[in-house]
Structure 1
Amino acid sequence: MAIVLYGVSAGKGIAIGRAHLITRGMHEVPQYDLEPAGIESETARYETAVKAARRELEQLRSALPENAPTELGAFISLHLMLLTDVTLSREPVDIIEEQHINAEWALKLQTDKLSAQFDEIDDAYLRERKQDMLQVAGRIHNRLAGQGNELNLEGSLLGDTVLVANDISPADTVYFKEERVAAFVTDIGGPTSHTAILGRSLNIPSVIGLHNARKLISENEWVIVDGINGILIINPDEPVLKEYRARAREYRARTRELNKIKKTAATTQDGINIELLANIESLEDITRLNETGADGVGLFRSEFLYLNRDTMPSEDEQYAVYARFVKKLKGKSLTIRTVDLGVDKNPRWFGQNTTPNGSLNPALGLTGIRLCLAEPVMFRTQMRAILRAAAHGPVKMMWPMITDTAELKQCLLHLETAKRQLAEREESFGGISTGCMIEIPAAALTVAGLLKHVDFISIGTNDLIQYTLSVDRGDDAVSYLYQPGHPAVLKLVQHVIRTANRMGKTVSVCGEMAGDTHYTRLLLGMGLRRFSMNPNNLLAVKNIVLHSNTLALENETARLMRQEDPEKLEKLLKAMNAQEEAV
């Protein structure tokens, strides 16, 4: 009898194969007390395990094959950085010394403490970094237990092998191609986990966050991995196998067709040029940006320069990073979002994992631009670095979580101060365009006033949806209420787009809706002409653009937007998409 499990789609595609179970991790941890005389040797044993894990990752990074995903080196470097962090390299030693317990149990106590802290983080991307921490801790544990960290694949796996594990670390994926892994599934992980990101980069069908797959699947059992819809089918019968074989052929054919339009301009059938931009976080993302023919960067998340470190990044350090991005883009525009920190994205140098105001509600506390304005030295330091980088090519500066014009005016004053400081130092800098994110309903409703002070705006649909519907999509109990197609959300998005177009200002969408082909035609019909998304979604969106007529879509959208019932609106949207696909 077939069993169907639903998880999170990571790598797209469909794979049919036999399961190979991976058993590893910190599931059974010994616990015992130590005599005072044995503490010194136990701390030395722990430190030796950390050093061994570090050497292991360093060797792996230096031996990466040429065809390895560009993100892989960065993720291994992150794991190396976590190994040197005091929370894993030193604090377990303190626990051994203070509680007189064995190293394995001290490591478990520390990882449990860190896991609880990660679980309290509001931001989905940063919450997923818990898995990186656990993967690094698992490496230390294996060394303490005298075990290796390799996957221990037999070397004779069949080409249709599907790996099934509780979790798979970025370092594990180095062996995938040489071992002919067709797909992988995991019990844990979310859409922004590094395992998911690598699944997408490797072009390997993969589904994560399945919870119980490892327990339900037997070794060598037939499974179907549907990375398109986030589905795992265990022990499928022949009719299901036949259906999915046909779907796999169709997907491969569709992918080949999409690759043919990489260099094709994104122009609709009625001659409207659409700008397709990429959301990026690292230099490695620029490779994928160029591969898909993106027109530039619509969102660079700069807060990752501020995290996982003990001090605030200096102006020169930030300038060097931004300048490298500008030069790598070779004339394509780079939009840098100024740092978006808060309780949920709190650097260690803030202290005690709290923001200055000790807010109990991260989403409504001192976050985004509010925190920047409360920390003017930090804010102007970043602005000066961005201005200096603009001397090397086109740069735009974008401010997050803006609520009203008062905040915008303060930002502009700080910008002028930063320019004056650079001029006084006789430091060269370039001209920039300024803009802001529209993520709060108050900003969306009063967008006309905001547009008088900036050159462009970008709609952050992820936060806009959560604030409008009062729902945390990371909370399984209410995630079903997270509806990008809710009439209230769509009305706000349409109002922002129409207002910007009427005032002659550039408007884009940089949230996940921009890369979701289900909403491409609707956004075109609303008048959107600038999409910014994960580079992996760009060709699919471009394909819809090429087959769309904006005049026809505007009429369809007008009828659709009169509907205020979410279910009926969704039916109309599906009908719009089906009608366009049939043309």
Structure 2
Amino acid sequence: MRFVLTGSGASRGMALGRARLQHPSRYLVDERPLPEDEVDSELDRLKRAIEIAREELALLRDKLHGAMAREVAEFIDAHSLMLADRELTSGIFDLIRRGRMRASAALNLQRDRLVAVFEAMDDPYLRSRKEDVEHVIARVHAGLQRESSSAERKLAERVGEILVTDTVAPSELVPLAELGVLGVVLSSGSRVSHGAILARSLHLPMVVAAHEALSTIHDGDLILIDGEAGEVIAHPSSADLARFRTWQRESLQRSRQLALLAERDTRTHDGAEIALYANAESAADIALARASGAAGIGLYRTEFLFLQRRELPDEEEQFLAYREVVLGMGGLPVTIRTLDLGADKADSSGLALDDEENPALGVRGVRLSLRHPELMRTQLRAILRASAYGPVRILVPMICAAEEMHQMRALLKESARDLRSAGHEIAENVELGAMIEVPAAAIALAGMIHELDFVSIGTNDLVQYTLAVDRNNDHLANLYDPLHPAVLCLLAQIIAIGKRAGKRVSLCGEMAGDRKHTALLLALGLTDFSMHPGVLLEVREMIARLDLAKLRKHSAALLRAPTRERIDRVLARMGA
């Protein structure tokens, strides 16, 4: 039967596929006595479940190919024979007829009986076959709980898989996408988590905070997810499937329309020039940035080089990676962010750090770099060597005070001097900037702006720290508000200080790529945006509709508004 789960849309797009539960919930077992008048219907339920299990095994066997096909087929055949074994099935039917047990309870009791028989055997091989019994019973359990029709099951077999789990690490998403996973449903999480940001980079539809997903969706169910609306539809109707097909057609048509904007300048309706840069962390992002006409790379994340490995990347490996990015942008500026890891991720990066009760407020970003100067020197040397191949800027995350920039600039000068002494060619001048994502840095910016060559605003963390709201906590999602009056005041202050000092100010957080915020950010004075390249053309289209001079007239009203409701009223007057 069709049902809809509502979560939060984390990565746009729709996907139709069969659910694959990474950590399936335990099968529900109904221990209530079975009334006599329900015996026949319960027997029918069990027969249908067994038939579903047989169909799935047959389809699975038909798909086998390659070197492992014969070996895997033997296990499938063994399971199929068990489903046809009268000792297994008749025993379950008897428990329903005579014992007045419901099908789920009868399955478990028969499983326990057979497992006990195998465990009593002396032969280790025969003893191990108890696992086959458990697998077969689990498959029948799944069929018993599934409400899909035969037609739906056939459709599910023709489509790919959608991962349904509680949480997924960012490092797990790339291999999942490479393996063909069509989308992700999480029972927890937030749309501004690192995993959600990466899902958007991979164009992988994602719904988070679908709290009942693991308890209501079963392995193999056909589901349709809408990553923009934040919906998960189990057992979609014909109308749902028609809506999905319409979305596919419209999405293709929309992509073709936006592609026409790739060669155009980014200008407002009244002719003001705006710079749209791209956030990137992969070769695919770089290619998409070039194809979309990005002004350059406003944020290149280097963490991927460090994650999921036992040893740290050396200077040569990092240099080759950064050089590929610089060459890939063909002379356009590339802003490379230094390592932004904390204790919550370091265990998968080759770094040995002590566990921290609150990694978000711990040794991360520049704090980690300054505690491990050799690690930082290696990265700075690699970036400087890449600067010989095109314009490069260096962005330092988690800055709180001018002293941290003093130390980073000293390391940069030392690294440049050593490279030149060793005969390496590097750029004459490489700009060094700070990522303003800590309220202390925003408040003290006027006092340290002279230490910076440029400023980049990281709104994802700036909002989190300003509002004291964990952006990964889905229970606080309603409090994580980038349009909070305090956040707007900080944004306006950062932009104004940078402009007065003649320093370039860009915004590389998720706000930059959200068309709902484009008019607001222009009104606050922002002219440099950096976003995922997949949304760059949509933002360019939005900017072309807006009149900058008119928007700027509303900036004072936005900053005077004491509540979110009043801010929304001003935005409505702006047409945003």
**Corresponding residue for residue 361 of structure 2:** 364
Distance verdict in 2 for CA 1:249–1:446, change over 3 Å: same
Distance 1:437 1:184 in 2: 30
**1:310 is paired with a residue of what secondary structure?**
coil
**Corresponding residue for residue 270 of structure 2:** 270
Between structure 1 and structure 2, the one with the greater Rg is 2
Deviation at 1:377, TM superposition (A): 1.7
**Corresponding residue for residue 322 of structure 1:** 322
Distance verdict in 2 for CA 1:490–1:221, change over 3 Å: same
Determine if contact 2:280/2:300 at 8 Å carries over to the other structure. Answer: yes
Distance 1:443 1:408 in 2: 11
Amino acid at match of 1:317: E
Alignment of 1:494-513 (within 5 A): 494-513=492-511
Of 362, 371, 388, the residue aligned with 1:391 is 388
**Corresponding residue for residue 133 of structure 1:** none
**Corresponding residue for residue 463 of structure 2:** 465
**Corresponding residue for residue 520 of structure 1:** 518
Distance verdict in 2 for CA 1:574–1:242, change over 3 Å: farther
**Corresponding residue for residue 144 of structure 2:** none
Determine if contact 2:400/2:441 at 8 Å carries over to the other structure. Answer: yes
Higher deviation after alignment, 459-468 or 407-416:
407-416
Distance 2:282 2:469 in 1: 29
Distance 1:499 1:24 in 2: 48
Distance 2:351 2:546 in 1: 52
What's the RMSD between the two structures over aligned residues?
4.1
**Corresponding residue for residue 309 of structure 1:** 309
Distance 1:22 1:376 in 2: 44
Amino acid at match of 1:272: A
**2:339 is paired with a residue of what secondary structure?**
coil
**Corresponding residue for residue 424 of structure 2:** 427
Distance verdict in 2 for CA 1:162–1:308, change over 3 Å: closer
**Corresponding residue for residue 284 of structure 2:** 284
What percentage of aligned pairs have identical amino acids? 37
Distance 2:225 2:454 in 1: 42
Distance verdict in 2 for CA 1:158–1:559, change over 3 Å: same
**Corresponding residue for residue 331 of structure 1:** 331
Alignment of 1:478 onto 2:445: no
Q: 1:317-372: CA deviations, max 9, x gaps?
A: 22121112111111111101111232223256776541xxx653322222221222
Distance verdict in 2 for CA 1:194–1:499, change over 3 Å: closer
Distance 1:538 1:500 in 2: 24
Alignment of 1:25-104 (within 5 A): none
Distance 1:405 1:300 in 2: 23
Amino acid at match of 1:480: N
Of 400, 404, 421, the residue aligned with 2:401 is 404
Amino acid at match of 2:294: A
Alignment of 1:255-266 (within 5 A): 255-266=255-266
Higher deviation after alignment, 482-491 or 230-239:
230-239
Distance verdict in 2 for CA 1:331–1:345, change over 3 Å: same
Deviation at 1:155, TM superposition (A): 11
Q: 1:383-424: CA deviations, max 9, x gaps?
A: 111111101111001111111212211221121111221122
**Corresponding residue for residue 122 of structure 1:** none
Deviation at 1:198, TM superposition (A): 6.1
Q: 1:15-59: CA deviations, max 9, x gaps?
A: 7x7x74556767689xxxxxxxxxxxxxxxxxxxxxxxxx99xxx
Determine if contact 1:190/1:196 at 8 Å carries over to the other structure. Answer: no
Distance 2:220 2:382 in 1: 55
Give the structure-1-normalised TM-score.
0.67
Distance verdict in 2 for CA 1:362–1:163, change over 3 Å: closer
Amino acid at match of 2:443: L
Structure 1 residues without counterparts, runs of 5 or longer: 30-54, 57-101, 103-141, 146-152
Deviation at 1:310, TM superposition (A): 2.7
Determine if contact 2:221/2:235 at 8 Å carries over to the other structure. Answer: yes
**Corresponding residue for residue 226 of structure 1:** 226
Distance verdict in 2 for CA 1:377–1:557, change over 3 Å: same
Distance 2:479 2:533 in 1: 27
**1:268 is paired with a residue of what secondary structure?**
coil
Determine if contact 1:298/1:335 at 8 Å carries over to the other structure. Answer: yes
Alignment of 1:376-387 (within 5 A): 376-387=373-384
Deviation at 1:172, TM superposition (A): 6.7
Determine if contact 2:199/2:206 at 8 Å carries over to the other structure. Answer: no
Deviation at 1:558, TM superposition (A): 2.1
Q: 1:399-458: CA deviations, max 9, x gaps?
A: 111112122112211211112211222222113111111111111112122221121100
**Corresponding residue for residue 487 of structure 2:** 489
Give the structure-2-normalised TM-score.
0.68
Distance 1:263 1:161 in 2: 36
Alignment of 1:12 onto 2:12: yes
Distance 1:383 1:187 in 2: 40
Distance verdict in 2 for CA 1:214–1:367, change over 3 Å: closer
Deviation at 1:217, TM superposition (A): 5.8
Distance 1:538 1:525 in 2: 19
Alignment of 1:551 onto 2:549: yes
Distance verdict in 2 for CA 1:200–1:316, change over 3 Å: closer
Deviation at 1:488, TM superposition (A): 0.2
Distance 1:297 1:574 in 2: 32
Distance verdict in 2 for CA 1:226–1:340, change over 3 Å: closer
**2:526 is paired with a residue of what secondary structure?**
coil
Of 567, 571, 582, the residue aligned with 2:565 is 567
Distance verdict in 2 for CA 1:200–1:351, change over 3 Å: closer
**1:417 is paired with a residue of what secondary structure?**
helix
**1:366 is paired with a residue of what secondary structure?**
coil
Distance verdict in 2 for CA 1:237–1:503, change over 3 Å: same
Distance verdict in 2 for CA 1:472–1:424, change over 3 Å: same
Distance verdict in 2 for CA 1:391–1:230, change over 3 Å: same
Distance 2:435 2:418 in 1: 26
Higher deviation after alignment, 185-194 or 341-350:
185-194
Determine if contact 1:163/1:184 at 8 Å carries over to the other structure. Answer: no
Q: 1:133-185: CA deviations, max 9, x gaps?
A: xxxxxxxxx9xx9xxxxxxx9996489968565359766767869xxx8x775
**2:336 is paired with a residue of what secondary structure?**
strand
Deviation at 1:476, TM superposition (A): 2.3
Amino acid at match of 1:376: P
Structure 2 residues without counterparts, runs of 5 or longer: 28-66, 69-123, 125-134, 139-150
Deviation at 1:487, TM superposition (A): 0.5
Distance 1:573 1:440 in 2: 26
Distance 2:257 2:548 in 1: 23
Deviation at 1:246, TM superposition (A): 8.0
Distance verdict in 2 for CA 1:301–1:172, change over 3 Å: closer
Q: 1:285-319: CA deviations, max 9, x gaps?
A: 21221232212111111133223233332222221
Alignment of 1:417 onto 2:414: yes
**1:277 is paired with a residue of what secondary structure?**
strand
Determine if contact 1:164/1:213 at 8 Å carries over to the other structure. Answer: no
Determine if contact 2:279/2:508 at 8 Å carries over to the other structure. Answer: yes
Distance 2:377 2:233 in 1: 53
Distance verdict in 2 for CA 1:198–1:488, change over 3 Å: closer
Distance 1:388 1:537 in 2: 31
Higher deviation after alignment, 334-343 or 345-354:
345-354
Determine if contact 1:306/1:347 at 8 Å carries over to the other structure. Answer: no
